[in-house]
Amino acid sequence: MSKRSASRLPEQSGGSQRESCNPSPEAGAARANLEIAALRGSARWSAFAGRLKKQILELLERDLEFRYAVAGYLGLSEVLRRLDSIEESIKKLWESQNRLWENANKLWEEVKLLREGQEKLWENQGKLWEEVKALREGQEKLWLEVKALREGQDRLWEEVGALNVRVARVERTLEKLTLDVEEEARIAV
């Protein structure tokens, strides 16, 4: 069927002259369908279909509003909106994750500083233990000296005791001598 014959079909179907000049939307769609049916299978149809596909694909690529209109027609507009929302959420998650990584890196730096500080503390503690050891050795020497001083003091007390015994003997002897001298002086007088 040719294009001309397809365009005349509504008139031949018993429609009035008025209907053919001012067709209803249904009549216009029917006419377009008839024209497309007439083109199908012909070389013109292949060229037309190729150009139409190319134009539709270009529009889908360039025109976001057209893309959403087609997606809406196909029932995908809600899916696309949700995908956009998900994409935005994913971007926010990546930003949050990047901040978390930055914070984790800061924490690792803190841990590194704490380890260095801890190593210094261990070194200082080692030095303190060495000093404690030296103090113990010094204390042992002092205890040995204290022991020697006590032994010396004990000997001194023994000698003082012996001297007290001697002094007591000397006192008694002196007392006897004094009494004897006094007695002789009395006798002589």
Q: What is the pLDDT of residues 116-158, one digit of tens each?
A: 999 999 999 999 999 999 999 999 999 999 999 999 999 999 9
pTM of the shown model: 0.37
Q: Check if the beta carbon of residue 12 is closer than 8 Å to that of residue 45.
A: no
Residue identified by tokens 């429609």 is: 15
Residue 22 exposed, middle or buried by CB count within 10 Å (0-12, 13-18, 19+)? exposed
Position 50 in a domain: yes
Residue 69 belongs to a domain: no
Is 103 among the domain residues? Answer: no
Q: Which domain holds residue 23?
A: 3-62
Per the structure, how many domains does the chain have?
A: 1
**Is residue 26 in some structural domain?**
yes
pLDDT at residue number 6: 38
pLDDT digits (tens, 9 = 90+) for 74-112: 877 678 788 889 999 999 999 999 999 999 999 999 999
CA of residue 55 relative to chain centroid, distance: 52
Q: What share of the chain is helix, strand, coil (3-state, %, to 5)?
A: 90, 0, 10
Question: What is the residue whose two structure tokens read 């503390």?
Answer: 121
- Is residue 7 one of the residues assigned to a domain? yes
User: Does residue 119 sit within a domain?
Assistant: no
Residue 38 lies in a domain: yes
Best CA proximity match to 53, nearest among 45, 43, 65: 45
Structural domain contains residue 176: no
